[in-house]
């Protein structure tokens, strides 16, 4: 089943497959590590994770390169304010970034490329551009890309810049550029700033050249897919195309995927607006990593997602339904035999699940057949028509689902625990929700003991005592379920 993915460049759904028939080579713009990433950032990384996982589900191997921008104006400024070298400053946020990805179960890229470790590649690329007459040096030692050297500029974002006259609304004199729209490739060193001594002078790379150089270094001059947030389409990705294609004369990325923005309560969220939540903020409010993951991927990548706390609660409850169902399947005792109807339903669900994802990663559509199957199977169980031989077919569908969504398998305790640890270390305990602390205040062993005591009380028909224990547990976020197969408990 070939994935058809919207291609910003062609403006249509294009099949996505490895051009070498072997490994799909993709580049995705990663973080600038100058602060904790916010959930808007993670929406993008999560959707790219969905892409990766679906490709692998369909048998396609992926080589995914992600850059880490560890030098730029904000980093230099913040590090200077903190009075530390930029390397020390960025290390903390890079570590936190990958920790966050782990908590969200975002798969690591095959290759992480740091800007500061690839300076020579960038310098080479700028030299190549100079040879082609597409790069020039200004008096202060900075280098710029000559936009006039790339007539196709604007083909990605569908902008026609030909009608824009220099000097009309833009100050041409600034930075001594030939044209106001020429963009920086290399920024000359300023006193006291981090810089590199290179063949093109002392300075540091511009943002756009980083991605071009690193993408081509690790993936070759032409590769299959380039992904990123919608805001990067212009100018960042447009500039990458201009630089790369001018240098090589070849098509840069064949396919471009842009993840639409996340809004918070209907408003755009960004660091500059200051209205953002980090993953850690949400964990300390008591939301589970899985719920955050599901909430951020359930709306397909091509649509804006309006983030709300109600949405997180909804995701939490949906996940509970799936987990409860799977526990019912794995723990329940069923009569021997097989129910052909269920087998067929499982097959249909699996097909529809994959078909929805193959259709431009329609995650919302992909959930439906799985939930349909859950209801059908639950009904069968209630009616005693579910047989032992049906279990594997149904579990296989859940496995498929989780190979992409990855929320049924419960990994939630660890991120919450680590976030609390982090809060303690960094003096953020005031941000922790009281309910979360209440939940953390009881150990599994203590719960087990109370559950056993309650069972005993029930046996003696001492319902008052049993209910008192249940209330006590409920207050600590422990939910009790009595079933034929025994007592089950879980943390809210």
CB nearer to RNA: give 71 or 232: 232
Q: Pick the piece of the chain touching RNA (CB under 7 A) from 16-24, 280-288, 376-384, 443-451.
A: 376-384
Residues 123-182 interacting with RNA (rule: CB under 7 A): 157-158
Nearest in space to 238 (alpha carbons), one of 133, 181, 157, 135: 157
- Minimum distance between the CB of residue 465 and RNA, rounded to whole angstroms? 10
- Minimum distance between the CB of residue 46 and RNA, rounded to whole angstroms? 10
Q: Which residues neighbour 345 within 8 Å (Cβ) at sequence distance 6 or greater?
A: 372, 373, 376, 377
Q: Are 144 and 184 in contact (CB under 8 A)?
A: yes
- Minimum distance between the CB of residue 138 and RNA, rounded to whole angstroms? 17
- Minimum distance between the CB of residue 48 and RNA, rounded to whole angstroms? 9
Cα angle for residues 242, 245, 250 (degrees, 5° grid): 160
Count CA within 13 A, CB hemisphere, residue 239.
Answer: 20
Among 207, 252, 256, 353, binds RNA (CB under 7 A): 207
Residues 252-281 interacting with RNA (rule: CB under 7 A): 259, 261-263, 266-272
Residues 315-354 interacting with RNA (rule: CB under 7 A): 317-318, 320-321, 324-325, 328
Q: What does the block give as tokens for 478?
A: 């422990």
Nearest in space to 79 (alpha carbons), one of 93, 67, 66, 68: 93
Q: How many CB atoms lie within 10 A of CB 91?
A: 14
Among 61, 409, 444, 482, binds RNA (CB under 7 A): 482
Among 234, 435, 439, 491, binds RNA (CB under 7 A): 234
Nearest in space to 53 (alpha carbons), one of 393, 320, 357: 357
Q: Which H or E element spans position 76? A: helix 73-82
Count CA within 13 A, CB hemisphere, residue 20.
Answer: 14
CA–CA separation, 473 and 442 (whole Å): 9
Q: Are 284 and 431 in contact (CB under 8 A)?
A: yes
Query: According to the binding rule CB under 7 A, does residue 32 interact with RNA?
Result: yes
Nearest in space to 409 (alpha carbons), one of 48, 55, 105: 105
Query: According to the binding rule CB under 7 A, does residue 309 interact with RNA?
Result: no
> Cis omega before residue 235 (within 30°)?
yes
Cα angle for residues 146, 76, 174 (degrees, 5° grid): 35
CB nearer to RNA: give 228 or 415: 228
Residues 382-441 interacting with RNA (rule: CB under 7 A): 382
- Minimum distance between the CB of residue 485 and RNA, rounded to whole angstroms? 10
Binding residues for RNA, rule CB under 7 A, total: 75
Residues 89-108 interacting with RNA (rule: CB under 7 A): none
Query: According to the binding rule CB under 7 A, does residue 201 interact with RNA?
Result: no
- Minimum distance between the CB of residue 237 and RNA, rounded to whole angstroms? 9
CB nearer to RNA: give 43 or 293: 43
Count CA within 13 A, CB hemisphere, residue 158.
Answer: 5
Q: What does the block give as tokens for 243?
A: 């630089």
What are the strands, taking DSSP E only, across 206-277? 223-229, 253-259, 262-264, 267-268
Among 299, 329, 361, 407, binds RNA (CB under 7 A): 299
Among 230, 338, 402, 435, binds RNA (CB under 7 A): 230
CB nearer to RNA: give 313 or 426: 313
Among 228, 287, 386, 412, binds RNA (CB under 7 A): 228
- Minimum distance between the CB of residue 136 and RNA, rounded to whole angstroms? 19
Q: Pick the piece of the chain touching RNA (CB under 7 A) from 14-22, 53-61, 297-305, 335-343.
A: 297-305
Q: What does the block give as tokens for 199?
A: 């063949």
Q: Pick the piece of the chain touching RNA (CB under 7 A) from 127-135, 189-197, 365-373, 413-421.
A: 365-373
Query: According to the binding rule CB under 7 A, does residue 40 interact with RNA?
Result: yes
């Amino acid at each position: 089943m070939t994935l058809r993915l919207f291609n910003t460049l062609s403006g249509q759904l294009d099949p996505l497959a490895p051009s070498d028939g072997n490994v799909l080579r993709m580049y995705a713009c990663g973080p600038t590590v100058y602060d904790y990433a916010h959930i808007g950032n993670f929406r993008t990384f999560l959707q790219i994770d969905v892409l990766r996982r679906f490709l692998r589900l369909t048998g396609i191997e992926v080589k995914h390169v992600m850059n880490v921008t560890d030098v730029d104006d904000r980093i230099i400024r913040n590090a200077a304010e903190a009075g530390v070298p930029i390397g020390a400053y960025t290390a903390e946020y890079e570590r936190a970034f990958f920790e966050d990805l782990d908590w969200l179960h975002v798969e690591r890229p095959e290759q992480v490329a740091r800007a500061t470790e690839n300076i020579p590649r960038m310098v080479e690329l700028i030299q190549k551009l100079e040879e082609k007459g597409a790069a020039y040096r200004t008096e202060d030692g900075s280098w710029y890309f000559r936009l006039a050297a790339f007539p196709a500029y604007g083909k990605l974002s569908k902008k026609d810049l030909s009608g824009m006259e220099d000097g009309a609304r833009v100050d041409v004199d600034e930075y001594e550029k030939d044209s106001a729209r020429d963009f920086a490739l290399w920024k000359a060193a300023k006193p006291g700033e981090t810089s590199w001594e290179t063949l093109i002078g002392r300075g540091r790379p511009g943002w756009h050249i980083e991605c071009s150089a690193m993408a081509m270094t690790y993936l070759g001059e032409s590769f299959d897919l380039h992904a990123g947030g919608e805001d990067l389409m212009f100018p960042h990705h447009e500039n990458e195309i201009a630089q790369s294609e001018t240098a090589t004369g070849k098509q840069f990325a064949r396919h471009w995927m842009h993840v639409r923005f996340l809004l918070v309560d209907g408003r755009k969220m960004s660091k500059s607006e200051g209205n953002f939540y980090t993953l850690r903020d949400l964990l300390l409010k008591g939301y589970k990593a899985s719920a955050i993951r599901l909430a951020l991927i359930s709306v397909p990548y091509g649509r804006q997602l309006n983030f709300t706390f109600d949405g997180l609660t909804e995701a939490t409850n949906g996940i509970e339904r799936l987990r409860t169902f799977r526990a019912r399947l794995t723990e329940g005792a069923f009569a021997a035999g097989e129910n052909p109807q269920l087998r067929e339903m499982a097959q249909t669900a699996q097909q529809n699940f994959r078909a929805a994802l193959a259709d431009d990663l329609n995650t919302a559509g992909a959930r439906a057949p799985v939930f349909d199957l859950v209801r059908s199977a639950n009904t069968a169980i209630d009616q005693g028509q579910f047989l032992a031989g049906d279990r594997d077919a149904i579990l296989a569908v859940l496995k498929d689902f989780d190979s992409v969504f990855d929320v049924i398998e419960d990994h939630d305790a660890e991120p919450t625990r680590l976030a609390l640890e982090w809060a303690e270390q960094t003096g953020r305990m005031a941000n922790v929700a009281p309910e979360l602390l209440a939940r953390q205040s009881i150990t599994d062993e203590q719960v087990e003991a109370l559950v056993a005591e309650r069972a005993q009380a029930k046996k003696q028909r001492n319902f008052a005592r049993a209910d008192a224990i249940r209330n006590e547990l409920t207050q600590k976020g422990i939910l009790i379920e009595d079933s034929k197969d025994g007592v089950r408990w879980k943390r809210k």
